[in-house]
Amino acid sequence: MILNFYKYQGTGNDFIIIDNRSLLFDKSNSNNIAKLCDRRFGIGADGLILLENHPKVDFRMVYYNADGNESSMCGNGGRCITAFAKFLGVIDDETTFEAIDGLHKAKIYDGIVKLQMQDVSNIETFETHLFLDTGSPHHVELVDNLKDFDVKNKGEAIRYGAPYNKVGSNINFVNQISENSFAVRTYERGVEDETLSCGTGVTAVALAMHKCGKTRAKEVNLQTEGGELKIAFDVSEHGGYNNIWLIGPAAQVFKGEVSW
């Protein structure tokens, strides 16, 4: 079987995206999904996304990590599938779609996609780090000399260590640049390596840095290895966060066919 696919990237976080409105894609074979994401034996990507029909909103997003397993929410993936839906003519400039963590709104203008994330009511603060869920679980830790930091090995040790060893967590290492700007490097579970960018990760970093008093800004710039993203948010009267938007570029890289 020949499979038509599209490759998208959002600040270097790259995805295979497939129009699965006909439901022909075999979602039961995680080994084949992992093979498609393999950078030597397949197409190569941080994850694979299916666009499917939905009975009430514009479409459904189904996301798989590079290991072939269906995963929690992917922010940059949500921005990329919004751009893909516009390319297909499924949407115009605004949309509401369903992902694994519920409904999301998104807007796309001139290659910039704004994706509304779920509200965050709880951020756990520890001596060395903060922990929160922005659609995916995230450990946020301030470090020195981020440029030379061993993200792969240090992230792996935390990801598989207590208390995350059962389900794992994404691990974000952060360095403050200015009052409202932070540099971020992320180790992603499911990819099991550093990625150039992580949408739910930068969302977690922006909220965590506000929570611990490193910034008072409600629009925060995040510099990832793959480019710059912005997070805008409001603070609720109970100290949680709402009206959270992940903002940045998303682009089609190429399209092709692969034997499936």
Per residue in 249-258, pLDDT (tens digit) is 999 999 999 9
Closest CA to 98 of 132, 63, 69, 65: 63
The residues facing 75 across adjacent strands are: none
The tokens describing 181, both together, are: 């700007």
Please check whether residues 73 and 23 belong to one and the same domain. Answer: yes
CATH number of 150's domain: 3.10.310.10
Please check whether residues 130 and 242 belong to one and the same domain. Answer: yes
Predicted confidence (pLDDT) per residue in 200-226, tens digit: 999 999 999 999 999 999 999 999 999
pLDDT at 166 over 90: no
The DSSP output letter for 1 is -
The tokens describing 251, both together, are: 């682009």
Q: Give the SS3 label for residue 110.
A: coil
Please check whether residues 164 and 80 belong to one and the same domain. Answer: no
What is the domain range of residue 179?
123-247
Catalytic residues: 74, 198
The residues facing 68 across adjacent strands are: none
Please check whether residues 77 and 138 belong to one and the same domain. Answer: no
Please check whether residues 51 and 110 belong to one and the same domain. Answer: yes
| Mean pLDDT, residues 115-125 taken together | 97
Give rounded-to-5 percent helix, strand, coil for the chain.
Answer: 20, 45, 35
Please check whether residues 22 and 37 belong to one and the same domain. Answer: yes
Please check whether residues 96 and 20 belong to one and the same domain. Answer: yes
Please check whether residues 32 and 88 belong to one and the same domain. Answer: yes
Please check whether residues 227 and 145 belong to one and the same domain. Answer: yes
- At residue 260, the pLDDT reads 79
Instruction: Kindly give, in sequence order, each residue whose CB lies less than 8 Å from that of residue 103, ignoring residues fewer than 6 positions away.
Output: 57, 96, 97
Please check whether residues 107 and 181 belong to one and the same domain. Answer: no
**Backbone torsion region of residue 154, taken as left when φ is above 0, otherwise alpha when ψ lies between -120 and 50, otherwise beta:** alpha
Amino acid letter at 87? F
The count of structural domains within the chain is 2
Please check whether residues 254 and 242 belong to one and the same domain. Answer: no
Please check whether residues 43 and 154 belong to one and the same domain. Answer: no
- At residue 259, the pLDDT reads 87
